Structure 1
Amino acid sequence: MRTRFLTALPLAFLCALTASLPAHAWQTPAAEQIEGHVVDAKGAPIADAQVLDTGGRALATTAADGGFEVPAATRVINVEASHFAPATVTIVTGTPLRVVLERPLETVVVTAYRSPLATGDSPASTRVLDTEKLQQAAAISLDGKLRETPGFELFRRSSSLVANPTTEGVSLRGLGSTAVSRSLVVFDDVPVNDPYGGWIHWEELPELGIQSVELVRGGASDLYGSSAIGGVISIEPARPQTASLHVLSSYGGLETTDDSVLGSAVHGRWSGMASAGAIATDGYTLIAPNLRGPVDVNSNVHEHNGLAEIDRKFGENDRFFVRGNVLDETRHNGTPLTGNGTRLWRYATGADWNNLVVRLYGDDEHYWQTFSSVATGRVSEKLTRYAEDPADELGAALHWHQPVGTHVLILAGADTHDVRASDNELLFSGAGGTLSTTARQRQTGVYGEALLTPEKWTISASGRVDHFSNFDAYQYSSSAATVTEPAFSETVFDPRVGVTRRLTQWLALNASGFRAYRAPTENELYRTGQVGQQTTLPNSNLRSERATGWETGFQTDMRKLGSSVRVSYFWTRVNRPVTALTLSTTPTATTLKRENLGRIESRGVSLDYAAQPARWIAIEGGYQYADATVTQYAQEPQLVGNWIPQVARNMATAQVRLTHPRLGLLSLQERASGHQFDDDANQYVLHGYFSTDAYASHDFGEHVTLFASGENLFDRAVQVGKTPVLTLGTPRVARFGLRLNFGGE
């Protein structure tokens, strides 16, 4: 008994001594940790989010305040939470670790109102393709990626990798297009529609130089002026915040290559970025197999592009920048004698200073193209014309905004741009000779907007006055005296109103009404165009298109189900639309002429949806029904009731993304379209189609990603045009590639 007591006494003393010491005196020193927080787009903490390393191993789970800790040696983390899009974050030493997760279709975006609004509060129908969605699209070209949005289509269904640039006009809201877009495309507030023809060079920018793309559907001339009848497509440039290097390279069918590199450096308040890319494909023969002849060869493109920018920060969000980009491409257009090329230089400088945004920009373009006539049976061809179209553009824009109290924001702005261009042709048919037309165009506008955001309401009222003029137009010919083309000018007022009412946190109603316009381009006024054996004559008496429209609908954000739905009914009427009217048709050729038609209308319903029923699956897509017809034309009443060319009544898209930290990502992309017509007389039917694309990728560590993609997996024959010979869309194409990422995001 005594022995047990003597043994227990020192043990009791040791326990008492241990209890009296501070915890850190006897605990094993803990490894150093990095603290972080996970929040949503509105700053609210997200609890129970999983923090994983790049191998998929769990590092932490966020607390009720969104906080978490990871080992200090961690460099890259993946953060996932139910009903949120996953995020990959690079940890930068000395920088607060704050991870923002976003729900599908609920990002904070810059809408057509030029003011930051959540999509649920915006009267405008907006679709955003962020960096991940752009990467996971199977298509190489930007227009191919944007086709995931229902209602987006080029003048013809073919990819810009094989299409003549003069057919790359954008159609939104079922309004169609000719060679010219009825929608405006801007890059960091600088318009990038072709200065001479209004079409879009979709491979102009390096793939890695683009951070995101926002599509705003519905008229927006109240803030953007000409061309924004169907909507605005805003391309946001990549702006790395740290030193980094990103490389993309892929190779696939049709000898298709896609290479791009982006590097950035930061020194104090200075930062610089440079990006370059090269896209090439041997393409394919567009003419349907049963109609081909010895003269038919592949349509293809070989191009290089580059982008460079230097920034100087003056505060958290204030900066001054200088930027330049270049495009150099050559195309073959389906026969040995037809081709075209573009060399385009753009430059811009500007500042974002407090509430003021300033842009000064310009471009210099040289475009050339050859034309031919093809004999019956497509056994031979003869060169008919060679054209060069140099163009220069200078522009300036500024806008200023100022909050007034807590619920009012006012905005004012002005912009101007001047285009000087010419069409210089060498004629080989008939008597031959030369033909040259020069002209100048200028647009200047001022605008203002008031945005009210009282509780549960968003109310916008805006208006813009534009003065457009076309002048100094002369036509020189080797066979006739110089002709002075008529000068004309127009002053246009375009207002817009929009209202959104949140009934609950998850349901909002919206409505908007607008007027918009589009001025004719020099290409429409003075240049003869040709695609295949379809020739379109110019018309120097064209005047601007005027549009009136409205839309209404609702958006739901069912957070518990991780889904979002937006439904809109839209109606747009365009007076004096510029249309290519058929003059004559033969078995081998069609001749058209540009005219101001009486009136067209497009009315219909659009649906956008997104859902994340589980952490590993995300679904997104949409549908558009557009009843787009000619409603008035006194000169040719037989056209009334006809469908607008190249507009299908039914279009639908769907994307399903499956992700697993260890297995990687698989994205399936479906696109379907009903039948449409290729001409104003509705004689040439283009049948509907269904196409399936796929993209898969897997990360090998922090720096390497391997991927594979396939377009038109079931090799469907997609009819894209009848000129009057039937042409087909891209066949099945598979690609394999890799991405290398070093440094910050």
Structure 2
Amino acid sequence: MLPTAAEPPVIVVTGQRPSADERDAVVIARRTLDDAASGRIEDALATVPGLQSFRRSDSRSSNPSAQGLTLRGLGGNASSRTLVLLDGIPIADPFFGFVPLSALDPDRIGRISIVKGAGGGRFGSAVAGTIDIDSLALADRPDWRAGGAVSTGHAMQLGGGATGRLGDSVATLDARWDKGRGFWTTPADQRVAASARAAFNARSVESRFVAPLDGSELQFRAAAFRDERTLRFKGADSLSEGIDASLRYVSAARDLTLAVYGQRRNFANVVVSATRFVPVLDQYRTPATGAGAMAEWRPFKWLAVGADGRWTDGTAYERALSASTGAVTAIRANGGRIAELGAFAEANGEMAGLDLGGSMRLTRWSVSDGRSIVRDGGGLLLSTTPFDRRSGRALTGRVSIGQSGKALDWHAAASSGIRVPTLNELYRSFTVFPVTTLANPALKPERVVGAEAGVRWHPLPGVRADIGLFANRLHDAIANVTLSPSLRQRQNVDALTTKGIEAGLSVERGPWGFDGALSWLRARIGPLRPAQVPAFTASATLRWKDERSGIAVTLRHQGAAFDDDLNLDRLPAATTVDAVASRQLGRITTVRLRLENAFDRRTVTRNQAGSIDLGAPRALWLNVEFRAP
């Protein structure tokens, strides 16, 4: 059993931005995670307009390497431009920068806090924003839970967890399995004999252990996942897998935090020709390791200072295959190392009735040991190309000012940030037929400067309205630049600029609730729009809930966008509606009906010269869950 109210509580402490920024964060609450019709974290993230992954498809039907997250139109390629933390620890893939979305079970999450805009805090300076994912508080976890779901799309979800005490310590264990034959991403008029459904098979397990030490805490987390997918053609299989571990120490006075973490990840991918329908490239292994450490000291309640470091190392191994014979024609290995060391300071306080906040970070980065090794089909060494070692320093930060009133709050902020290219962008080329995108070992870091201002009106309890303006300029933005109809390369472009308006409305009146938000922005690289960035996105959820039952209906709209940097391949606007109905039966059983894409709207997720992929069609899920009372 967990501690009762009379016992000393066990707390999991996570990293926080300064309170002036946290006050203006977008928070995805537990109820939003429960209302995700797909049962996946992407559904909950999609309720935040302006937050997007590179492609519109979710983690059942996209290549894992396309799962980078960004905000406010700062797109253009698949790498994350947000800093994504789970309980204060970075979770993005060390080689690619994508987020392992299928390994993030909504049932394990308490809330998600999103601070938009750059900053200079711990574990690197965010360029587009910071996404803080907090695990479900130990006090809110049942002693045990188990459940499963089946869908009309021939898919299933199984999951469960347990929480127990070991003396004064608390341990948890959770697991989840998602599997399905998938849906047709290829339209009926473009299918061939080699076409295949987007089958998926994802498993994950996670354990946490929290031990009190004379008022201090030691927090340990270990997780493992494996995700297999088939995309578009038979044999076009991808694999992502990993093992993560982290250890945190938080002092009794909460003035000292120490953390270390390690990642071991792997990725594999088979490219099938869209004309011959046979494998032409086998990216059979991409082993990568990531490690980091952080120390933070709070000499005063309003001030935090610290230092951190992150190190990544990885190599992409691939075999080129003959389309006519299937023989191996070349074997290539490309990779390198990246290191980032930083010192940071964060402060917040009040002066003359104003809330003031700020952060500053000095980062030293280096890219080293870059190499490209090429062998012939028999393994004979043909060439070894080393790439120059590069390094640099950057000073980034954020300042904010605001004021809270009886019915009206306001805030303004200015920020800067830097993002070092990933090993994937520097060294790994990829193909989404018929287009090949080349790596670029000469890429420079991106640097962003931005500003924002907004007001929040809360005239009545349970009623809140927000509106804000923002502008960003991303210098040396890394984008996939078209060189010919079938060839692109990652390049630094002069700048990516975005400016726009964000608005939201939240109403809670008795059993009824409403959450709505929209983002309108103008994003440009020169005269053109960045790939995959819509000008307008919006979401709205209407819900009703009493002690035993609940209904939620969510509408999401994505405006039109382009799949390429030349703005030739259009992605039409798409509007979908989801619904979730739940009923508690007895003390331990809850039944949910989840309806994805209720009106079966067509969502185009990829368009390359008329060759298109589609998003998830309508699917009805029956979900039964059992929890300890």
**Distance of aligned partners of 1:209 and 1:659 in 2 relative to their CA distance in 1, 3 Å threshold:** closer
The answer to whether the 8 Å contact 1:621/1:655 transfers is yes
For residues 56-80 of structure 1, give each alpha carbon's deviation from its aligned partner in whole angstroms, at most 9, with x where no partner exists. xxxxxxxxxxxxxxxxxxxxxxxxx
Q: Which runs of 5 or more residues in structure 1 are unaligned?
A: 1-89, 98-108, 631-639
The answer to whether the 8 Å contact 1:124/1:216 transfers is no
Shift of 1:123: 7.2
Instruction: Give the one of 59, 76, 83 matched to 1:160.
Output: 59
The answer to whether the 8 Å contact 2:123/2:309 transfers is no
**Distance of aligned partners of 1:542 and 1:467 in 2 relative to their CA distance in 1, 3 Å threshold:** same
AA aligned opposite 1:427? A
Shift of 1:295: 1.9
Residue 288 of structure 1 pairs with residue 187 of structure 2:
yes
Hey, what does 2:466 align to over in structure 1?
566
Residue 412 of structure 1 pairs with residue 305 of structure 2:
yes
Instruction: Give the one of 17, 20, 41 matched to 1:114.
Output: 17
For residues 356-405 of structure 1, give each alpha carbon's deviation from its aligned partner in whole angstroms, at most 9, with x where no partner exists. 11111101112111112221xxx73343333311011121112222336x
CA distance in 2, matches of 1:110, 1:608: 29
Hey, what does 2:99 align to over in structure 1?
200
Aligned pairs, number: 614
For residues 521-573 of structure 1, give each alpha carbon's deviation from its aligned partner in whole angstroms, at most 9, with x where no partner exists. 1111111112343321101110100100000011122234x201121100000
Hey, what does 1:628 align to over in structure 2?
523
Q: Where do 1:233-248 residues align within 5 Å?
A: 233-241=131-139, 244-248=143-147
Hey, what does 2:237 align to over in structure 1?
339
AA aligned opposite 1:450? A
Shift of 1:112: 8.8
Shift of 1:621: 1.5
Instruction: Give the one of 310, 318, 326 matched to 1:425.
Output: 318
Q: Where do 1:221-370 residues align within 5 Å?
A: 221-226=120-125, 228-241=126-139, 244-314=143-213, 318-353=216-251, 354=253, 355-370=255-270
Hey, what does 1:697 align to over in structure 2?
582
AA aligned opposite 1:325? A
Shift of 1:455: 5.9
Instruction: Give the one of 391, 406, 414 matched to 1:513.
Output: 414
The answer to whether the 8 Å contact 2:552/2:581 transfers is yes
Residue 678 of structure 1 pairs with residue 563 of structure 2:
yes
The answer to whether the 8 Å contact 2:21/2:115 transfers is no
Hey, what does 2:348 align to over in structure 1?
451
AA aligned opposite 1:552? A
AA aligned opposite 2:517? G
CA distance in 2, matches of 1:184, 1:524: 17
Hey, what does 1:596 align to over in structure 2?
492
AA aligned opposite 1:289? A
CA distance in 2, matches of 1:382, 1:276: 34
After superposing the two structures, state which structure 1 stretch, 428-437 or 708-717, moved more.
428-437
**Distance of aligned partners of 1:92 and 1:395 in 2 relative to their CA distance in 1, 3 Å threshold:** closer
- Percent same amino acid among aligned pairs? 23
Q: Where do 1:657-672 residues align within 5 Å?
A: 657-661=543-547, 664-672=549-557
Q: Where do 1:467-478 residues align within 5 Å?
A: 467-478=364-375
For residues 227-270 of structure 1, give each alpha carbon's deviation from its aligned partner in whole angstroms, at most 9, with x where no partner exists. x2111111111242377112231111222211211101124321
Shift of 1:271: 1.0
Hey, what does 1:383 align to over in structure 2?
280
Shift of 1:418: 1.1
The answer to whether the 8 Å contact 1:206/1:275 transfers is no
AA aligned opposite 1:556? W
After superposing the two structures, state which structure 1 stretch, 216-225 or 438-447, moved more.
216-225
Tell me the SS of whatever aligns to 1:374.
Answer: coil
Tell me the SS of whatever aligns to 1:577.
Answer: strand
State the TM-score, normalized to the length of structure 2.
0.93
AA aligned opposite 2:390? F
Hey, what does 1:395 align to over in structure 2?
292
Q: Where do 1:200-219 residues align within 5 Å?
A: 200-219=99-118
Instruction: Give the one of 619, 625, 628 matched to 1:739.
Output: 625
The answer to whether the 8 Å contact 1:112/1:216 transfers is no
CA distance in 2, matches of 1:476, 1:96: 58
CA distance in 2, matches of 1:524, 1:124: 35
Q: Where do 1:24-43 residues align within 5 Å?
A: none
User: Higher relative contact order at CA 8 Å, sep ≥6: structure 1 or structure 2?
Assistant: 2
Shift of 1:220: 2.3
The answer to whether the 8 Å contact 2:309/2:342 transfers is yes
Hey, what does 1:72 align to over in structure 2?
none
For residues 72-115 of structure 1, give each alpha carbon's deviation from its aligned partner in whole angstroms, at most 9, with x where no partner exists. xxxxxxxxxxxxxxxxxx99575699xxxxxxxxxxx9999624
**Distance of aligned partners of 1:684 and 1:124 in 2 relative to their CA distance in 1, 3 Å threshold:** farther
The answer to whether the 8 Å contact 1:205/1:327 transfers is no
Tell me the SS of whatever aligns to 1:285.
Answer: coil
The answer to whether the 8 Å contact 1:577/1:597 transfers is yes
CA distance in 2, matches of 1:324, 1:95: 27
Residue 727 of structure 1 pairs with residue 626 of structure 2:
no
Instruction: Give the one of 582, 596, 599 matched to 1:711.
Output: 596
**Distance of aligned partners of 1:619 and 1:433 in 2 relative to their CA distance in 1, 3 Å threshold:** same
Tell me the SS of whatever aligns to 2:263.
Answer: strand
Tell me the SS of whatever aligns to 1:132.
Answer: helix
AA aligned opposite 1:233? I
Tell me the SS of whatever aligns to 1:145.
Answer: helix
For residues 328-380 of structure 1, give each alpha carbon's deviation from its aligned partner in whole angstroms, at most 9, with x where no partner exists. 121112211211112200011111112111111101112111112221xxx73
Shift of 1:437: 1.9
The answer to whether the 8 Å contact 1:439/1:474 transfers is yes
CA distance in 2, matches of 1:610, 1:303: 35
Hey, what does 2:484 align to over in structure 1?
584
Hey, what does 1:618 align to over in structure 2?
513
For residues 106-134 of structure 1, give each alpha carbon's deviation from its aligned partner in whole angstroms, at most 9, with x where no partner exists. xxx9999624x3xxx54774111222221
Shift of 1:683: 0.4
The answer to whether the 8 Å contact 1:347/1:361 transfers is yes
The answer to whether the 8 Å contact 1:212/1:236 transfers is yes
CA distance in 1, matches of 2:307, 2:208: 24
CA distance in 2, matches of 1:329, 1:129: 25
Tell me the SS of whatever aligns to 2:43.
Answer: helix
Q: Which runs of 5 or more residues in structure 2 are unaligned?
A: 377-381
CA distance in 1, matches of 2:583, 2:492: 53
**Distance of aligned partners of 1:234 and 1:549 in 2 relative to their CA distance in 1, 3 Å threshold:** same
For residues 285-332 of structure 1, give each alpha carbon's deviation from its aligned partner in whole angstroms, at most 9, with x where no partner exists. 21222222222111121011000122111366x310222100012111
**Distance of aligned partners of 1:660 and 1:336 in 2 relative to their CA distance in 1, 3 Å threshold:** same
AA aligned opposite 1:320? L
Shift of 1:605: 0.5
Structure showing greater Rg: 1
For residues 448-470 of structure 1, give each alpha carbon's deviation from its aligned partner in whole angstroms, at most 9, with x where no partner exists. 12212246321012210111101
Tell me the SS of whatever aligns to 1:277.
Answer: strand
CA distance in 2, matches of 1:127, 1:93: 30
CA distance in 2, matches of 1:443, 1:330: 31
Hey, what does 2:379 align to over in structure 1?
none
Tell me the SS of whatever aligns to 1:178.
Answer: coil
The answer to whether the 8 Å contact 1:619/1:656 transfers is yes
CA distance in 2, matches of 1:323, 1:627: 41
Hey, what does 1:7 align to over in structure 2?
none
For residues 193-222 of structure 1, give each alpha carbon's deviation from its aligned partner in whole angstroms, at most 9, with x where no partner exists. 110010111012334322221111111244
Hey, what does 2:504 align to over in structure 1?
608
Hey, what does 2:273 align to over in structure 1?
373
CA distance in 2, matches of 1:371, 1:436: 17
